[in-house]
Structure 1
Amino acid sequence: MMSDFAANSGTGGLHDGRHPGSVEEWVFAAWAADASLGVISGHRILGRTAWYWAALARAGRPLLHITDFDVPVRLADPFIVKGEAMWAEHTREAPMEQWTIGNETYAASLEDPEDALGRGYGVPTPIAFDLEWYATAAEQRLDPQPDMSTGYEQAGVVHGSIEILGELAVELTEAPACRWHRWTTGEDLPLGQLILPIAVAHSGVRAPFRFPDGGESDLVLTADGWHCRSTT
């Protein structure tokens, strides 16, 4: 049975479906309550091509970092991302309530997360996400964004596993989670980076990304989830 918040959500243009003629992005994240482990998976559609990025970050372990910024958009199903030696998918199982987050690809294993802001070269490591994201609250409209985009965030939990060659699977059960869905009003308008709370001089688990438009997303994990890292 659909929960009350799911049945009453999606009003005012806030919904899970595509917004044709826009640059559009979905980001899913989850973390351990003790901030020792975090996972993130993002997907942005820009006309005929898409960006895909993901990471598994763990205390005391190399960052497992995934990016493909030139993936042809599949017209039949834009949520399927098929790049070179990569398959990924964000599947909406129930509007505003449940998504499946999956991939099978090679991650770059980076001893120093800072390398992700450069060329991102690391040891190729087979990895697979098999995660289920469930909402636990109604969506919340994002504050006005500098890039004039609109969208929402929604709290949830994640269940599932992440398989890494040569390691025991990482199991997530009722892990705290969040997702974001943002879009612009036109395909020719830029979409800036997701604005998150700032963590100053934080040395915890980290997952940085550099994007083709020159933007950077330098994320650090706190007990409240992913924040933007600042050194000042």
Structure 2
Amino acid sequence: MVLDHHVPFRSNPMEVRTTGLWADHICETPLDHWTLGLETFALGVDDPRELHGRQHGDNVALGFDLEWETDGPVVEHPLDAGVHGYELACRVYGEVLVGRDVIDVEGVGSRSHHWGPLDWVVDDGWHLSGVVEGPTRWSVDHRDGTTTALLEADGTVRRVDARGEVEVDEDGLPVAARVDADGTELRVEVLAVTPVPVEVAGRQIRRPRALCRLRSSGGWTGVGWLELRAGAGGSLGAG
């Protein structure tokens, strides 16, 4: 984990630079191509729950040089009044450095952009984005008790009603999820999760993120990311 709530603002808002931390976000081509770079030291832990506790672990060199290239149409997100945003499916490639290891990366991903008065303290629900084998990409959002799925195939985006539920453990971390949309059931298996403690207006909130494997009732498999915007135990959502 890399965490610093007191990084000074710079004239270039896309660059982060402070003692022991450098990160940059470069828009090569609007809505098409971004480059992200990072050089820092991170906290390495055996159990992600440690990040909600004492935050004791090993000091590990961490860096990456990754390219995000758009691989699909713009998908508009259903958000609160006055808040706008979109999501793009992408191909991601480059290198990740962890300690002395250099890991080549080539796979699928997504990029989102939001603007407006989004209040992370009261923001609730969850968001799932992923790619299933074949032509279909999923973007599922649960907010204010309602689940909406955006399905993209062959360059066309369809908005459909959905039902979804995320199962979390006693620490509020996701362990599984299920989505029913457009006659298809999508089962979500959590492979790895990181709790992300974020300080907002003097309060610490949690926005856990999980790397997932997706399995559809049609036999397709895929990968995706699940982000929780609420930290209650039990299960989240069903509308």
- TM-score over 0.5 (shorter chain): yes
Give the secondary structure class of the aligned counterpart of 2:3. strand
Structure 1 residue 84 corresponds to structure 2 residue 19? yes
Q: Distance in 1 between matches of 2:88 and 2:116?
A: 19
Q: Which of 99, 119, 122 pairs up with 1:190?
A: 119
Unaligned 5+ segments in structure 1 are 1-64
Question: Does the C-alpha gap of structure 1 residues 125 and 159 become closer, same or farther in structure 2, counting only changes over 3 Å?
Answer: same
Q: Is the 8 A contact 2:52 2:195 kept in 1?
A: yes
Amino acid at match of 1:211: V
Q: Which of 203, 211, 216 pairs up with 1:221?
A: 211
Residue 138 of structure 1: how far off its partner (Å): 2.0
Aligned to 2:64: 129
Aligned to 1:171: 104
Residue 132 of structure 1: how far off its partner (Å): 0.5
Structure 1 residue 69 corresponds to structure 2 residue 68? no
The Cα offsets for residues 5-25 of structure 1, whole Å up to 9 and x where unpaired, read as xxxxxxxxxxxxxxxxxxxxx
Amino acid at match of 1:130: D
Give the secondary structure class of the aligned counterpart of 2:13. coil
Give the secondary structure class of the aligned counterpart of 1:89. strand
Aligned to 1:160: 94
Q: Could you say what the CA RMSD is over the residues aligned between the two structures, in angstroms?
A: 2.2
Q: Is the 8 A contact 1:108 1:124 kept in 2?
A: yes
Structure 1 residue 118 corresponds to structure 2 residue 117? no
Q: Name the % identity.
A: 25
Aligned to 2:113: 181
- Identify which of structures 1 and 2 has the higher relative contact order when contacts are C-alpha pairs closer than 8 Å and 6+ apart: 1
TM-score, L = length of structure 2: 0.61
Q: Is the 8 A contact 2:79 2:85 kept in 1?
A: no
Amino acid at match of 1:222: C
Q: How many residues align?
A: 161
Q: Distance in 1 between matches of 2:53 and 2:68?
A: 31
The Cα offsets for residues 124-146 of structure 1, whole Å up to 9 and x where unpaired, read as 1011111001000122111123x
Give the secondary structure class of the aligned counterpart of 1:92. strand
Give the secondary structure class of the aligned counterpart of 1:116. helix
Aligned to 1:95: 30
Residue 121 of structure 1: how far off its partner (Å): 2.9
Unaligned 5+ segments in structure 2 are 129-164, 168-174, 177-189, 214-222
Q: Distance in 1 between matches of 2:78 and 2:192?
A: 27
Give the secondary structure class of the aligned counterpart of 2:195. strand
Residue 218 of structure 1: how far off its partner (Å): 1.1
Q: Distance in 2 between matches of 1:114 and 1:231?
A: 17
Question: Does the C-alpha gap of structure 1 residues 179 and 127 become closer, same or farther in structure 2, counting only changes over 3 Å?
Answer: same
Q: Is the 8 A contact 2:90 2:108 kept in 1?
A: yes
Residue 222 of structure 1: how far off its partner (Å): 1.2
The Cα offsets for residues 65-91 of structure 1, whole Å up to 9 and x where unpaired, read as 11222212211x110101221000111
Question: Does the C-alpha gap of structure 1 residues 67 and 99 become closer, same or farther in structure 2, counting only changes over 3 Å?
Answer: same
Residue 215 of structure 1: how far off its partner (Å): 1.9
